[in-house]
Chains A and B, each alone.
Chain A
Amino acid sequence: SQQGEEDPQALSIQEGENATMNCSYKTSINNLQWYRQNSGRGLVHLILIRSNEREKHSGRLRVTLDTSKKSSSLLITASRAADTASYFCATTDSWGKLQFGAGTQVVVTP
């Protein structure tokens, strides 16, 4: 079963616009991570936010975490065509087990 749910399932935007996607989870977590997947194969780790952090930035990425609501958001600013991919959130519990949400498919058109 999936740990979390992502919203929206799919997102289509134009280059230069911002893309926001949300992730909700069910159990206590140690940290939350976001990954990108191109063409249904390898996943690339984007950013990790610890359970005691509320916001984190990395380049054009901004992640927020609200543990009281068990939710996180990923914002990609000034999107590019190369950002077209599926984005997954994943949570780690105290045992280190990494569980993924169903993902958001993002399409950025030139």
Chain B
Amino acid sequence: GAGVSQSPSNKVTEKGKDVELRCDPISGHTALYWYRQSLGQGLEFLIYFQGNSAPDKSGLPSDRFSAERTGGSVSTLTIQRTQQEDSAVYLCASSIITGDVYGYTFGSGTRLTVV
């Protein structure tokens, strides 16, 4: 596609439920990043993929968070047993290569609300 696509755009879930967030990067972009942004805050790095492997998972807040990428394309971020503090906008970005001098293209994000 022309841009980075994230789905759903909004998700309301009950505390304790599992959620899956999807990111479809720009075709051909090998690097994919997940960030979390709480209301009025900066972006918190979660994880990034180079191809299907994740060299850096250091930002995942707890073992309830996991992410995978298949076929070097679509990525899913899974949050198990959601908590209210998980409420945030989850942003995905992709780039042709890591350290891409043309910058990174961001999706519009998934706004997750845990009630």
Binding site for B on A (CB under 8 A): 2, 30-31, 33, 35, 40-45, 48, 50, 88, 90, 92, 94-103
Contact = CB atoms under 8 A, between A and B. Distances in A.
B1 interface: no
A42 B99 contact: no
B104 to A, nearest CB: 6
Contacts, number: 69
B99 A30 contact: yes
Contact of A97 (B45, B102, B108): B45
Interface residues of B, number: 31
A88 B109 contact: no
Interface in B76-115: 89, 91, 93, 95, 97-109
Contacts of B45: 97-100
B13 interface: no
B42 A98 contact: no
